[in-house]
Amino acid sequence: MSSTMPVPPKSSIAEERANPSFPVRELTYWIDGGRRVTELKERIMLELERDPLWRVSDHPNLSLAETRERAMSKIRRLADLATSRPLEETMIRMSIISVVDPGFWTRFGVHFGLFFGALQGQATPSQMAYWMDKGALSMQGITGCFGMTELGHGSNVAGLETTATLDEKVDEFIVHSPTLTATKWWIGGAAHTATHCAVYAQLIVKGQCYGTKTFVVQLRDTKTFALMPGVNIGDLGKKMGRDQIDNGWIRFTHVRIPRSHMLMKHTKVTRSGEVIEPPLAQLAYGALIQGRVSMVSDSANVAKRALTIATRYASVRRQFGGSASGAAETKLIDYPIHQYRLLPLMAQTFAMIFTAREVTANYEKLMGELSDLGEAKDAAADDVIKNLKETHATSAGLKAFCTWMCLNIIDQCRQSLGGHGYSAYTGLSQAYSDFAVHCTWEGDNTILTLQCGRYLVATALDARKGQPLPENLSYLKGAVSATGGLSDRACKGGSTEQVSSLDTLKAAWSSVAANAILNAVRDFEAGLAKGLAKDDAYEFSSASRLHAARMHTYTYLLHRFAAQVDRSPAALRPVLTLLAQLFGAHSAVQHSGEFLQAGFYTGPQIETLKGFVSHACSEIRKDAVSLTDAFNYTDYVVNSPLGRFDGDVYEKYFELVTSLNPAKPVPYFDSLIRPLLERTNETEAGPELEIDEE
């Protein structure tokens, strides 16, 4: 039996930082968007760390009631900061909190993001002024929630059952839940907190239904907190994650509200009962995009934390190897299979980081254009509507595939920690439970991919008729031939450089995405040829639409990543280029059949690409810890003893577990354990039977 020489974990991680191939601080600035933003983030992280209210290390041991109370204790302080500090600082603070305490982020965001966001997006200026005076921004007098989802309806907003019927005699709407399935469900803040709700209900005027609109309904008396007449509310209790938010159900029984409590920025209802629809009904889509865009950023931010924990632990954890007498065991990160396990996830995370930056900028630009548009119907309005549809579809696909990607990153990182990944104290089991809801809320991921796929099919059909391609589909210009088929753009050459260059990978993914879109178009047209109605033909092609959305979104991520590489500082370009190549190549290997089917790569070229992936992982391994350092999360934000910056994982892990679980008598020893141990096998003898004596 040979003994091995233990290596101090601090020494193990220190040697990882000895010779990075790039300036780490400069990459942090590039990720954050500049030195000023980085320093602001560092200030906010320090403020949170030093505030006793923001203690997070003991979260695993809190009960449901304690978790909710802890979250509520932070609300006032953050509400005061949100209304007194610049908007940029508030947004950055919230992005950090979404990683530190995602459940609280949700509870706070229900009011400021959803309820107040509904007012911003759908209230007229006079209505907005009214609700601001009531305290909607500062939470002084009003706490809001967002009442869209029902027990029987989620993604199908048009099918919601709650009604809002105009009573012209008294100038009021009657809000009502006509069925059990019309009960508002999963409403964050409803169980304990909200006084008002932005309720989505079917607008009914003079017996005619005008579709789903938004109404502000008071739930509780703002002084006594008693439920308003006709309002019933219950608690949904324990959930998979994010227990900080008090999700509840709401039922309305003929609840009356003033007509002016319908938000009328778009559709208007007059005193006489005239319904005035907006000239550009699509403008209402704008309100749906913000949440989807924010979840692309959130996916990147949460993935950064997971990879920081897994990569740092892999750099200090030693296992096997060291066959020579006294030799140290091998670091996990030095095993090629562990590199292959983690480093493609690193590349995916950088792809999400840079895509989030671009899609957020595009969204903000679009919102400015919508704000300036007014009620115009000219060519400029047509261009804005096209951009709106493009952003709506792109954000739908990105929301779906980035949240799926992040959830997988969390779980793969958790598994890479071995048995310790199962501990609630190492940070990733709860991260998985908290993040999983991202794949469902703000639009179920599968439904969103189908929306994106429908847009892709419709756009391809328009392009066939001579319509110009939107920016996010510009890659189709070279990938689709003049006859509407796939262009002959096969990869030329078989060397590693020829197969794996960033330009080649961009062309490869463009070809694969184009092929998937053309296949979806063919399936759609096959449905029409069978005599199906348009909507039914889209359903007929749903599987190929989902696949087209997947291929398109991967292509979009790679193109956005490559665009950021081109703009990056020269000192960062080599490592970012390699990460972009790894993202494109690893994703291609995972979907190799698509590239063979599209005729871009041959079988031998795919094998060469596999070899490049292994090579890229071994090269990026040299910078793995430095790359996570560039994410610049403090130990407080990482909140895992296994992801500590100094590598002192075992001491801090032991300290945390023992401090939160001190030795004490077993409370059920006398009632359960002692009787178990002291029980006997003797049974009471029954009466003697005469038959036995014969």
Active site residues: 442
Tokens of 51: 């505030």
Count of positions (residues) in the chain: 694
Sequence-ordered list of residues with C-beta below 8 angstroms from that of 459, at least 6 positions apart, any chain: 467, 469, 470, 473
* Alpha-carbon dihedral sign for residues 368, 370, 375, 378: positive
Burial class (CB in 10 A: 0-12, 13-18, 19+), 151: middle
Cβ contacts of residue 217 below 8 Å, gap of 6+? 147, 175, 196, 197, 199, 231, 252, 255, 257, 261
Q: Which residue has the tokens 């071995």?
A: 418
DSSP H/E element including 172: strand 172-176
CA distances from 62 to 234, 311, 436, 437, 609 (A): 22, 28, 20, 21, 48
Task: Report the distance separating Cα 568 and Cα 22, nearest Å.
Answer: 12
- Token couple for 316: 């200090």
Query: Would you call 693 exposed, middle or buried from its count of C-beta atoms within 10 A (0-12, 13-18, 19+)?
Result: exposed
The radius of gyration of the chain's CA atoms, rounded to the nearest angstrom, is: 29
Please report where in the chains the tokens 């400021």 appear, as a residue.
112
Within 8 A by CB and 6+ apart from 338, the residues are 314, 332, 416
Q: Using CA atoms, how far apart are residues 350 and 304, in angstroms rounded to an integer?
A: 9
Closest of 145, 246, 237, 642 to residue 431, by C-alpha? 642
10 Å Cβ neighbour count for 53? 11
**Calpha distance 306→294 (Å, rounded):** 19
Torsions phi, psi for 150 (to 5 deg): -120, 165
- Coil, strand or helix: which one is 167? strand
